[in-house]
Amino acid sequence: MAIGGNTLAQRMPNEVKYYGQSGEDPYAYNITRMDAHGGWVATATDLARFLVRVDGFSSKPDIISNSARTTMITGSSANPAYGCGWAIAGQNYFHQGSLPGTATEQARTQQGFNFVILTNTRSLDANFTTALDQLFWNAYAKSPAWMTGDLF
């Protein structure tokens, strides 16, 4: 994972090209100054590897303490549905992000799953973030045969 560049020419090796919608210019922002606010470039695998190390499940040891994870996913009095960078919905927590040329979601579910969705464009449709989130839940509802091997 690394902080991204500001221009098409500054893309990292194997980084996607970003596509804006409705006149958006995905290369008009100072990404290098955004750092945690949206400047990171990562693969879905990078994010999944991170997520399994902070999810509280026993499949992989976490890199943070239980108390740090509790703090991370505990809302405030001002917004009980938002912790330290994570939206909270019961035992599920997730983070969605969007800039011109990208939309993302990573989540940990109470059912024992983590998922990551990355796109190289976004939609300005009011239902887009819900539709993005539903990609996982619609697949989950089909009760597919999940891999049991360790991908990491």
Q: With 80 as the cut, is the pLDDT of residue 63 above it? A: yes
Three-state helix/strand/coil letters over the chain: CEECCCCHHHCCCCCCCCCCCCCCCCCCCCHHHCHHHCCEECCHHHHHHHHCCCCCCCCCCCCCCHHHHHHHCCCCCCCCCECCCCEEECCEEEEEEEECCEEEEEEECCCCCEEEEEECCCCCCCCHHHHHHHHHHHHHHCCCCCCCCCCC
Domain-embedded: residue 24: no
| Domain, as residue range, for 64 | 43-141
Confidence class for position 72, pLDDT limits 50, 70, 90 = very high
Task: Give the chain's domain count.
Answer: 1
The predicted structure's pLDDT at residue 54: 94
Domain-embedded: residue 152: no
Query: What pTM, to 2 d.p., does this model score?
Result: 0.89
Domain-embedded: residue 27: no
Domain-embedded: residue 17: no
The predicted structure's pLDDT at residue 147: 78
Q: With 80 as the cut, is the pLDDT of residue 151 above it? A: no
The predicted structure's pLDDT at residue 42: 93
The predicted structure's pLDDT at residue 144: 81
% of the chain exceeding 70 in pLDDT: 100
Instruction: Tell me how far apart the alpha carbons of residues 35 and 6 are, in angstroms, rounded to a whole number.
Output: 12
Q: With 90 as the cut, is the pLDDT of residue 152 above it? A: no
In this prediction, residues 62-89 reach a mean pLDDT of 95
Domain-embedded: residue 101: yes
Domain-embedded: residue 90: yes
pLDDT digits (tens, 9 = 90+) for 12-42: 999 999 999 999 999 999 999 987 788 899 9
- Is the pLDDT higher at 144 or at 11? 11
Angle ∠(114,120,124) on CA atoms, nearest 5: 95
Domain-embedded: residue 33: no
**Poorest-pLDDT segment among 9-13, 31-35, 79-83, 129-133:** 31-35
